[in-house]
Amino acid sequence: MRGRTIVLTVPVTALLTQPLWAPQWGAGVLGEFAGLGIVWGSAAIAVFFGLVALFVMSLQRLLGAIPASARARSPRSIWLMCAIPFNFVEDFEIVTDIAASLRADGRTSRLTVT
């Protein structure tokens, strides 16, 4: 995990924990899930992580099709998308590394704006 991922995760963590240090501001994003009730809130979280798992497996297959010499990261590291709270920032790093890997393998070219 890169240093900038950790640094940028600090404000994300602050926002996620806002109900603990500033309850007068409201329940925050976790209050939205609590508002659904325990069953539906848990179901929403489970569906979300299920969809993330499918996305991760697709990205792993994509990265696995690229020769190791052209990869900017390991296919196994894609599972960091599930590492809360780092995932909010790490997702951008992962997509950037996949794009760099595709360019290094010659599958895509750098986008130029004219």
C-beta atoms surrounding 70 within 10 Å:
15
The predicted structure's pLDDT at residue 1 = 62
Whether 36 contacts 25, CB under 8 Å: no
Backbone angles phi, psi at 80, to 5 degrees: -65, -15
The predicted structure's pLDDT at residue 111 = 63
Which of the four pLDDT bands, split at 50, 70 and 90, describes residue 65?
very high
CA distance 19 to 6: 22
What is the pTM (predicted TM-score) of this model? 0.76
Q: How many CA atoms lie within 13 A of 48 on its CB side?
A: 10
* pLDDT, averaged across the chain: 87
The pLDDT tens digits of the residues spanning 10-48 come to 998 888 888 889 889 888 877 888 888 989 988 998 999
Is pLDDT at 109 greater than 80 in this prediction? no
